[in-house]
Amino acid sequence: MRISQEIKLNFEDVLLQPKRSTLTSRQDVEMTRKFSFRNSNKVLDFCPIFASNMDGVGTFSMAKILQEYKMMTVITKTTTIDAWKQAVGNGLRLQSVSVCTGTKRVFDPEAEDYKTMQAVLKSFPDVKMITIDVANAYHQHMVDFVKMVRDEYPDKVIVTGNVVTGEMTEELILNGADIVKVGIGPGSVCTTRTMTGVGVPQFSAIVECSDAANGVGGHIMADGGCVHPGDIAKALGGGAHMVMIGGMLAGHDESGIKAVDGKREFYGMSSDRAREVHNKSKGGYRGNEGRLISLPDRGPVEPTIQDILGGVRSACTYIGAKRLKDMAKCATFIRTNNVINRAYERYTK
């Protein structure tokens, strides 16, 4: 047994310190970023904020709004090829989405999510990104799976995770991943930390994994735990090249989940509710690592997106970053606690 004595931080443990800046307006901030990916050699230009591949978030309706801001959406792995075909004929831009698969293919050559992914990539070569979705990427079979997908798709951008430490970030990048997702347990509807006691505070995980990825020419995507636009700014300032959000986009019209009595469901993808929706069983050995919640209907997602982008833009002007790309370079963080004045929070409409 070993205890690491180093203090690990969450978003609420830090603040960005303002700096002198020559930016005259928030409008001047460049909100897209051009990435050159290590293993696929792809060069893509987008706003590095991703909608998570969760039910109620990773939908085509969401993608169609996010694409207007050059933001990205990971379409859920249960989305059928027919649904893809319909969306593509209906205004979806393929550069703004990623297809998603789990790793069941390792054990089952007929795995449906993998087959759907293959069909999507065959029908729509303009989809440039594959997201391999697993809660825990510390298994050796995960590394083997990434290698297999890389062999099959040498020129697609491969996103995989999730990890929270540098050595596994490097391992996945060296074995074919372009982008490694960082985050175990920080999610809004995730109960991994209470169910298993496992996790690393998200801000520190980002700083460590980003440093590791930069060392080997890879990229990371901070996944989970952003509650406010400022958290996205902190993630980018802490070195995340990209940020994935779920809960911040949930509960809107674009969720694909019907509002009942002014409320919409939202649930973790490892929750009992997700298994019920997708007809999956726990097989007698899995726990319930996600929450089912009922959110007040939030209406259209566009104002929420504008809030998010407005917050991040403003953060850039405070720290003197002309481009999102410069955030980590410009960021000085102060360690603190109790960073938000909650006095009137309960009265906010």
Contacting positions for ligand 5GP (CB under 6 A): 52, 54, 135, 162, 183, 185, 187-190, 192, 223-226, 244-248, 268-271, 289-290
DSSP state of 42: -
Looking at the Cβ atoms of 118 and 191, the one nearer to ligand 5GP is 191
CA 38, chain centre distance (Å): 19
Active site residue 190: yes
- Indicate the residue type of 250: A
**Minimum CB–partner distance for residue 243 and ligand 5GP (Å):** 9
Question: Catalytic one among 47, 190, 316, 330?
Answer: 190
**Minimum CB–partner distance for residue 180 and ligand 5GP (Å):** 12
**Minimum CB–partner distance for residue 227 and ligand 5GP (Å):** 7
Dihedrals phi, psi of 229, to nearest 5 degrees: -55, -35
Length of the chain: 349
Are 17 and 333 spatial neighbours (Cβ–Cβ below 8 Å)? yes
**Minimum CB–partner distance for residue 199 and ligand 5GP (Å):** 9
Looking at the Cβ atoms of 88 and 158, the one nearer to ligand 5GP is 158
Helix axes 229-237, 302-319, angle to 10 degrees: 40
Looking at the Cβ atoms of 47 and 189, the one nearer to ligand 5GP is 189
What Å distances lie between residue 291 and 13, 256, 260, 274, 278, CA to CA?
25, 18, 19, 9, 16
DSSP string of 269-297, one letter each residue: TTSHHHHHHTT---TTT----B-EEEEEP
Which residues are catalytic, by number?
A: 190
